[in-house]
Amino acid sequence: MSAQAHPESINVKLHLWRQAGPEDPGSFEKVELKDISTHMSFLEMIDVANEQILEGGGVAVCFDHDCREGICGMCSMVINGQVHGPEPGVTTCQLHMRSFADGDEIYVEPFRASGFPIVRDLVVDRSALDKIVMAGGYISVNTGSPQDANSMLVPKDKADLAMDAAACIGCGACVAACPNAAAMLFTGAKVSQLALLPQGQPERASRVLGMVDTMDSLGFGNCTNEYECMAACPKEIDVSNIARMNREYLRSSIGSAEGV
Amino acid sequence: MLSWLTRTARSSIGRKAVVALTGLALIGFLVVHLAGNMTFFADSDGATFDAYADTIGNNPLLPLAEIGLVVLFLVHMGLAVRLTLENKKARSKGYMVSKAHGGRTPGSRTMIFTGVIVLLFVILHLAHFRLQKGDDVSMASLVRFELSRPLGAGAYVVGLLALGLHLSHGFQSSLQTLGLNHPKYTPLVKVLGYGLAGLLTVGFLLFPLTIFFGGNS
């Protein structure tokens, strides 16, 4: 934030998505909040809203959250049509109320994708992403004593790219922001972080084939290269990871003996 | 024996790659098509253009090339429609409030719509210049006749603008789908994609515009 002056507190009109269960049609519940500190995070503001709902005899809105410091990837809200809200490169927990103005109407919805069924209110089931990782997003290393660190050389540029891909916290913002609800930025990052490193080479072909086939089976859409995912990603994962996944998939399926 | 091939051909990335490859091939056709059409402006009576049209029309391999083009077109369209339907299903319930993060472009948003307009345009185009042309009619005079009518010229302008919008996303998108992303070349590909879309659109637009407004009579 710049030195631009913000009011210490604001009033907002919150519209929270309420949905009793996966099959419930759901609707918005309006909550008017007074004197919300602009230093609050968005989740703290939801906490205040929940207290107000409870005091009024209502049922608190369910939402996912955990670390509240931008590293766990649990918070999952679409705020005024934008995943993780209007600020680039942050999760909802790192979004502050100073990003909003006095009197703002704020619509809060869950991530919407057939691959992420709604559990209740703002909580969605993102275990599909775990299934993609379980299909090969790891290296099989038997335990033993660590080898000398210098015995396996990693070029600096490759290490940097792998580290950038590994910054993915698996929050699913890419899926939620994608016009097609595709999971290709997530899968691309998980394929890339290992494909770039020497440790990832032994299972390089089987990994990408397994992960992409699993991704395809879970009801996600197909990437149309609109790059909304990259713009919404709190870790700003680059779409070159999707291109790398495409490359890896084609070289593994057509250019290798894997899956013959 | 070929289970690996069917697996690839059925996968998201495999099908996207086929859409990309057929799209690039069709762009290649457009470049040659425009280059050939430019003979129209070589002389005022259209003799060069007619000679060019006759050369193509008399080539015994023409039906083979035409079948190839139709196959490219059908595969490109069929897969794109299938993928689009899957994409709609992947978000069966949309957002109540929706705001782009800044990745989408007018071209990327409208691919399926501009694609349908281009399909209708191609059907009209074939009806004009492939199906109705008799042996005794000069191609240049037929072009002048069809494009001097307001409805004809208007349809071509709309069809070509849709094509330009389609290509503004299509070219760069196809390279990304094929995995061709590079820190040095991708920014150039983006510029090249817009340039190519603009050049092809303006090039083909010369025909309805100059003929309708009488610049080439």
Q: ipTM for the complex?
A: 0.93
Q: pLDDT-based confidence at A259, cuts 50/70/90?
A: confident
pLDDT at A1 over 50: no
pLDDT at B174: 98
Within-domain flag for B177:
yes
pLDDT in tens, A144-192: 887 888 888 999 999 999 999 999 999 999 999 999 999 999 999 999 9
Q: How many domains does the structure of chain B reveal?
A: 1
CA distance B120 to B127: 11
Name which of A135, A188, A143, A140 is nearest A165 in CA terms.
Answer: A188
Asked whether residue A132 carries a pLDDT value surpassing 50, the answer given is yes
The answer to whether B99 contacts chain A (CB < 8 Å) is yes
Note the pLDDT of residue B108.
96
Note the CATH number of domain A126-253: 1.10.1060.10
Q: Confirm whether B1 is domain-assigned.
A: no
In a domain, B90, yes or no: no
In a domain, B134, yes or no: yes
Domain segments of chain A as ranges: 9-120, 126-253
A4 — pLDDT class (breaks 50, 70, 90): low
State pLDDT tens for residues A196-250: 999 999 999 999 999 999 999 999 999 999 999 999 999 999 999 999 999 999 9
Q: Is A172 on the interface with B (CB under 8 A)?
A: no
On whether residue B86 sits in a domain, the answer given is no
Q: DSSP E strands: which ranges in B64-167? A: none
User: Which residues of chain B lie closer than 8 angstroms to A226, CB-CB?
Assistant: 103-105, 108-109
Q: Which domain holds residue B68?
A: 11-81+108-212
Say how many CB pairs under 8 Å bridge A and B.
Answer: 145
Q: Does B93 map to a domain? A: no
> Which residues in chain B (136-195) have CB-CB distances under 8 A to chain A?
169, 172-173, 176-181, 183, 186
Is B103 within 8 Å of A226 when comparing Cβ atoms? Answer: yes
pLDDT, residue B217, reads 45
Query: Does some domain include residue B125?
Result: yes
pLDDT digits (tens, 9 = 90+) for A8-65: 999 999 999 999 999 999 999 999 999 999 999 999 999 999 999 999 999 999 999 9
Low-confidence ranges of chain B (pLDDT < 70): 133, 215-217
Q: Would you state the pLDDT for residue B130?
A: 85
Is B82 an interface residue toward A (CB < 8 Å)?
A: no
**B3 is a domain residue:** no
Query: B104 and A179 in contact by Cβ < 8 A?
Result: yes
Interface test with B, best of A116, A212, A222, A252 (most B CBs within 10 A): A222
Q: Give the DSSP per-residue string, chain A.
A: --S----SEEEEEEEEEE-SSTTS--EEEEEEEEEEETTSBHHHHHHHHHHHHHHTT--PPP---S-SSSSS----EEETTEET-SSTT--GGG-BGGGS-TT-EEEEEE--BTTB-EEETTEE--HHHHHHHHTT-S------PPPPGGGS---HHHHHHHHHHHT-----HHHHHSTT-B-HHHHHHHHHHHHTSGGGSTTHHHHHHHHHHHHHHTT-B---S--HHHHH-TT---THHHHHHHHHHHHHHTSSSTT-
Residue type, B200: L
Question: How far is B121 from B158, CA to CA, in rounded Å?
Answer: 8
Q: What backbone torsions phi and psi does residue A113 show, to the nearest 5 degrees?
A: -165, 145
Task: Choose from A107, A237, A253, A254 for mutation: most chain B CBs within 10 A.
Answer: A253
- To 10 degrees, the CA torsion angle through B37, B39, B41, B45? -110
**What CATH superfamily is the domain A9-120?**
Beta-grasp domain (3.10.20.30)
